[in-house]
Amino acid sequence: MGLLDVVAIAAGRITRRAVLTLRPGGATAIPGRVVERLSPGLLGRILSQPRLVVVSGSSGKGTTTKMLVAILEAHGLDLFTNKYAGNITRGMLSELLRVVDWRGRFPHEWAVMEMDEGYSALTTEKARAEVTVLINVMVDQVHRWGQPERVAAYLERTARQTTGTLVVNREDPQLRRVVSRLPERGAQLRTFGVSAEVQSSLRHGLGSAPDFAEGEARMPDPVAESVVVGYGGSTATVELSSADGAGPATLVDVELPSRGIHLAVDSAAALEGARAILGDRFDPQVAAAALADAPVVFGRGERARVRGEVAEFVLAKSPTASQVNVDALEPGTAQIAVVMGKDIPDPSLLWLIDWTPVGRAAIVGGMQAWDAALRLGYDEVEIDAIEEDVEIATDRFFALPAPAAGGGVKTVLYSAEGMRRMRRHLGLFDADTETIRTDAPASGSSVATTEDGDDA
């Protein structure tokens, strides 16, 4: 750390105080931008100090990081994590400014960082990760990435910078290709996945981007793996192979924060990542209990009390995540709002999703309302009302009587911009949100051990 870093950190802190005075309570990346401008290498110098864990991939990195952190903290690990969805350089710097001292010294043993796919490569080439968790490569943000192969190339660079253990989704074709290209004597490989039986029960599969490269992508055998062997909507059973590969497997029953197979995959990623980090200290009982208590990721699949009634809010992030959420709708769900905002630059992506399970939408809203209605119309979804203005759509939707079915719960599927505008209009902020777990059993997560190690 040099003088420049000291100046940059001081400037960042002053900026942060100024921003918070003007806009109380807001998470902001502005101080990080100031710091980045003054001392471009500071992020790497801070993250080189702790033992670094990086979680990246197209979809689910935020959820996986939160699950992983919950498990690690329950085991008493001293760690820092980026909590406010700042997963690119300036956002991470803004959050790190709050914990480093005036010279940039980092006070925790571990840093568990959710990182954007592109920035994970740039950052780990400055500060190598001890453990890297790679979740998936999906057809996502094609306007930014163009090709899934480009995302895979960034994740490959991240994987190559990993010193200890690489934890990879074995079901993801692009990630299998990435691992097959890595040097033999690199990081140790651990994997997570979904059993063939569970996969065959899914309506639309797992949603990873296909791999069209020539030749089979061969992955070496992992030293250990965590596999989703049971999935019941908002619960999952994850089988953890034994640590030495010979003993019995451990079954962990997991309560998911919401419905969806992607959350089951995320929990398997978090469990295997935690095993990589904790080694012998890993306790499946503690892990299961931590997952049961993990807070729901803000705004992505949660129930909240709105204007005196309960509504379920589901963020339609990528096409794949949206498909999972649409498939996870309980049959007979009534009073559904679909809000597609201006963050969807090209509504073509709506055609990657099969909307048939929606059945009937009470309202279709947002800047892309007419294109969304067009899409739903071709899946023969009935539509009661269409309204481009999110605020008006919100008022009309919540003025409707509560549905008779589904416990009187209304359902909102929204894009990120639709989410921000709707939540602001409803006065629904992170701190005020009364999140209510979906229909998970009251008993909580549990752990069992099988003798033969291969059966649920």
Decide whether 146 or 295 has the Cβ nearer to other proteins. Answer: 146
Closest CA to 301 of 326, 332, 334, 319: 326
Decide whether 149 or 283 has the Cβ nearer to other proteins. Answer: 149
Closest CA to 192 of 109, 126, 293, 264: 264
Q: How far apart are CA 30 and CA 57, in angstroms?
A: 25
Q: Which of 2, 26, 76, 210 binds other proteins (CB under 8 A)?
A: 210
Q: How far apart are CA 426 and CA 433, in angstroms?
A: 11
Decide whether 165 or 415 has the Cβ nearer to other proteins. Answer: 415
Integer Rg of the chain from CA: 22
Range in contact with other proteins (rule: CB under 8 A) among 140-148, 330-338, 429-437, 445-453: 140-148
Q: How far apart are CA 334 and CA 312, in angstroms?
A: 12
Range in contact with other proteins (rule: CB under 8 A) among 278-286, 346-354, 390-398, 427-435: 346-354
Q: How far apart are CA 269 and CA 172, in angstroms?
A: 13
| Residue 351 interacts with other proteins (CB under 8 A): yes or no | yes
| Residue 317 interacts with other proteins (CB under 8 A): yes or no | no
We find the least distance from the C-beta atom of residue 211 to other proteins, in angstroms, to be 7
Q: How far apart are CA 422 and CA 207, in angstroms?
A: 28
| Residue 149 interacts with other proteins (CB under 8 A): yes or no | yes
Is residue 265 helix, strand or coil? helix
| Residue 352 interacts with other proteins (CB under 8 A): yes or no | yes
| Residue 378 interacts with other proteins (CB under 8 A): yes or no | yes
Asked if residue 287 lies in contact with residue 271, where contact means CB atoms within 8 angstroms, the answer is: yes
Q: Which of 160, 375, 421, 423 binds other proteins (CB under 8 A)?
A: 375
Decide whether 27 or 153 has the Cβ nearer to other proteins. Answer: 153
| Residue 273 interacts with other proteins (CB under 8 A): yes or no | no
User: Using CB atoms within 10 A of its CB, is residue 261 exposed (0-12), middle (13-18) or buried (19+)?
Assistant: buried
Decide whether 146 or 407 has the Cβ nearer to other proteins. Answer: 146
Q: Binding residues for other proteins, how many (CB under 8 A)? A: 33
Q: Which of 278, 374, 385, 402 binds other proteins (CB under 8 A)?
A: 374
Q: Which of 73, 388, 391, 395 binds other proteins (CB under 8 A)?
A: 388
- Following DSSP, what letter does each residue of 217-242 receive, concatenated? -PPPPPSEEEEEEEE-SSEEEEEEPP
Footprint of other proteins on this chain (CB under 8 A)? 139, 142-143, 146-149, 209-214, 319, 345-352, 367, 370-371, 373-375, 377-378, 380, 386, 388
